[in-house]
Structure 1
């Protein structure tokens, strides 16, 4: 049993005055199955790169093992998969690879197909298998679930649960619960490690947050009470001191010694109250530092004169001569929250694009109301570049509302000045979601909106959809989100 030691780690990107890490210290056991969580932009992927020595930093990272990082870069995707793996892990033992592929339910024939011809799910499984065919490695696994359907997530979760010695970045709650035994969380002001699953960590965090908020409220009341008491006592002391040169009712002189003693006693009491007040303020300042702000989101969806918005009857979609999905029947009515489910390659995205008005080749019948206004969120974020202000203007949405939603999704104000191309994957997805929430539409169509998006933001979006019940058709492989939000599920074969 060995440990990775991180001591006084400090790092900021060149030219940035906004440090990602500052004076961070902790220890990781190399036998752990460590889930890594935290809101987007907090530095999870950056930390994995620091472990690999990709950036200069101050402080020390001491590791007794070598690191491998998923996803591996694939320089020649047109090569056969077996050759791609040889480039990634030179001289690997074939039997070890086959052992891992069998566990992941991947057939041997994929090795003899061009890597680029594999589905994204197959590519993910092949690269995960490559991670586990070498010895004495600590594995850094960065969001492997983004291209896995619900069935594949369960399979890969069980696979990782049978392993140990890795850090896993994922925002899928059910997936983390399936395969980790410790949680490393990047909070607002610190980094902490707890033993257990994501659910146990979240329960502990919620309990701690609740305690701190109650304690904060109590201390706030104590501070106000002590402040008023201190002012009254100080006032009484001052009045008594002033009376030292006054007279009694009979005209005789006051006992100045007695009055002075009483004034000193009152002043001492005031000082004691003031010290208690300062102690309460200091204790209060230690609270609420890591409570995540998760303000409620809002959506304004237009009402349509008819309840039935779109109907697909026996629809088959083609790319060239290839049918990507067959004989789909679907009716979208106002208030529906329809989840499109199915394995990778079953045509889920194609169905959303056709429903959204894209001119795909198909047979069957598609009826869509002619005045229907649709807000569409794509899987792809690669087009996002330039300023948020220009993006808002380009899409005709209210810039102030747009940025308010982003703030509620944990965007720091400093992000508003940056080029979107520099945003993390989760931040880019939040830009698309925030734009969609600003658009006036009768129907929202979202294609895997939660890829890379942090857990707390996922919960905010869940609560939004449950509270406002907009009409939405979506594809999403996060099981918790799917089960909570969907009112109907359409399964593609």
Structure 2
């Protein structure tokens, strides 16, 4: 990080004429048995800063937090921390609580201690929208030094005043909030791409010039076809001299071409286009049908009289507070509870966080994913690369992966499987930011059907074509009519019209009926 410190120009605490430095790390190096985990030349932070710590899964963010908290002393360099540190870890014993409830309880206890330095590791994982807003407000009003490890874009945007980014095993610093950091990073990416493309154009021109001179030299040596044998013999020495000049010119151009590429090629994950033919075919107009469903947890009623349908090609988000019944509803659908029906042609790929524990620890990443995929090796590697699992991960045993890396592996075994209906329960938890973006892109381009739960509001907004909201033991469906209120038929009719237009065979009579009903309803508004 050079001499930069990871702090914002705002919220600095003065003590006399000096800043009160609470955290200072100098020439920090953390090595593992298999090599360098990360390094940082200089990191400092002061009271009032909220530093977002971001980077790829397995890169050492939690390890950095433990070093700052004094829980890991196996490093080289200097650690200077002038106040007590409270670290709220990513994972902890649940004591019968949900993941969200456990994290909330631990954050509340930590805040109640009023620590001078607070480190939170993925605090928004498993939190519903209301509790995420509560967390944001609490952190905005926290007056100490906050170090926040997170992949939650909404949280990072709302509270950070500085960003500490881990890239290629090195921590770097940005003095500004998460939105500004992303803007600068995108500008840097575009500049690097432009520079690389320009260098490649120049290199190509130089190589073409060198090739043209090689060809001209060969032509000079051959001489003209109209030369007599005597003329050819008499001009041989001159032709050889001229050809040699051409060859020297070619070498000059070739040497310039070889020295031309100074910019490292920017990494870009190749986009993968899935086709409907890649998935098992779907028969019928509904993949999921739920009618008059009542759900209970023990004696407690979760949902009453739930009704909705999922048609092929939709991407449905389930939203609602913790404990509202989202995961229980998914379980009811998967187990065929009375009131639910899955189409016979549905081939379900199901993901939820608890499945990660079942990964075979002795198998390698490639063994696990290749056993699940229906794509060829090249396309499978393409998807893996988009999620940050490149060639260096192929032969790594699952046991050596971080928690976030294991989540990626488990999720990928679902995404590349022979499924036409993906049911994903909190797939973004513990994924790094590039992987969340890769998942967004994958699902938006997915030709099958998706039903998912995600508390990441940005992710939900980007992916979902429709959101079902569970609240007060009811399910609100924008595609369903509210009985007795004719005007509310409009969203459902428009949805049915859109689906009818996308059908392989157009039902012109049905389309006309829908157009007439839509026009009649609009006339009453």
TM-score, length basis structure 2: 0.72
Residues of 1 paired with 2:22 and 2:322: CA distance?
38
Shift of residue 393 of structure 1? 7.1
Specify the alignment match of 1:378 in structure 2: 352
Equivalent of 1:458 in 432, 436, 457: 436
Specify the alignment match of 1:102 in structure 2: none
Specify the alignment match of 1:492 in structure 2: 470
Equivalent of 1:127 in 96, 106, 123: 106
Specify the alignment match of 1:8 in structure 2: 27
Residues of 2 paired with 1:433 and 1:492: CA distance?
25
Shift of residue 272 of structure 1? 8.1
8 Å contact 1:174–1:480 — kept in the other structure? yes
Specify the alignment match of 1:19 in structure 2: 36
Equivalent of 2:263 in 284, 292, 310: 284
Gaps of 5+ in 2: 1-18, 221-230, 232-240, 472-525
Residues of 1 paired with 2:409 and 2:32: CA distance?
22
Residues of 2 paired with 1:229 and 1:398: CA distance?
43
Say whether 1:296 aligns with 2:272.
yes
8 Å contact 1:72–1:127 — kept in the other structure? no
Residues of 1 paired with 2:248 and 2:373: CA distance?
65
Shift of residue 347 of structure 1? 1.0
Specify the alignment match of 1:34 in structure 2: 51
Say whether 1:435 aligns with 2:413.
yes
Task: Assess, with a 3 A threshold, how the Cα gap between structure 1 residues 333 and 120 changes in structure 2: closer, same or farther.
Answer: same
8 Å contact 2:316–2:467 — kept in the other structure? yes
8 Å contact 1:188–1:292 — kept in the other structure? no
Equivalent of 1:206 in 182, 186, 200: 186
Equivalent of 2:149 in 169, 179, 182: 169
Specify the alignment match of 2:368 in structure 1: 391
What is the root-mean-square deviation in Å for CA atoms of aligned residues? Answer: 3.8
Say whether 1:407 aligns with 2:381.
no
Residues of 1 paired with 2:370 and 2:435: CA distance?
25
Equivalent of 1:59 in 77, 83, 93: 77
What SS does structure 2 have at the residue aligned with 1:382? helix
Shift of residue 305 of structure 1? 1.6
Specify the alignment match of 2:523 in structure 1: none
**Equivalent residue runs for 1:2-401 within 5 Å:** 2=21, 4-14=23-33, 16=34, 18-21=35-38, 23-31=39-47, 32-51=49-68, 52-71=70-89, 116=95, 118-134=97-113, 137-163=116-142, 164-188=144-168, 190-227=170-207, 229=209, 280-281=260-261, 283-285=262-264, 288=266, 291=267, 293=269, 295-296=271-272, 298=274, 300-357=278-335, 365-380=339-354, 381-386=356-361, 387=363, 388=365, 391-392=368-369, 395=372, 400=377
Instruction: Name the structure, 1 or 2, with higher relative contact order (CA <8 Å, separation 6+).
Output: 1
Residues of 2 paired with 1:72 and 1:390: CA distance?
28
Task: Assess, with a 3 A threshold, how the Cα gap between structure 1 residues 235 and 175 changes in structure 2: closer, same or farther.
Answer: same
8 Å contact 2:86–2:115 — kept in the other structure? no
Shift of residue 140 of structure 1? 1.7
Residues of 2 paired with 1:370 and 1:395: CA distance?
22
Specify the alignment match of 1:110 in structure 2: none
What SS does structure 2 have at the residue aligned with 1:313? strand
Q: What's the CA shift string for 1:104-147, capped at 9, x where partnerless?
A: xxxxxxxxxxxx35554333222112223445632221101112
TM-score, length basis structure 1: 0.76
8 Å contact 1:9–1:59 — kept in the other structure? yes
8 Å contact 2:59–2:169 — kept in the other structure? no
Gaps of 5+ in 1: 78-115, 241-248, 250-259
8 Å contact 2:88–2:110 — kept in the other structure? yes
**Equivalent residue runs for 1:467-486 within 5 Å:** 467-486=445-464
Shift of residue 398 of structure 1? 5.9
Task: Assess, with a 3 A threshold, how the Cα gap between structure 1 residues 225 and 303 changes in structure 2: closer, same or farther.
Answer: same
Residues of 1 paired with 2:30 and 2:67: CA distance?
9
8 Å contact 1:30–1:166 — kept in the other structure? no
Task: Assess, with a 3 A threshold, how the Cα gap between structure 1 residues 304 and 229 changes in structure 2: closer, same or farther.
Answer: closer
Residues of 2 paired with 1:396 and 1:296: CA distance?
14
Aligned pair count reads 434
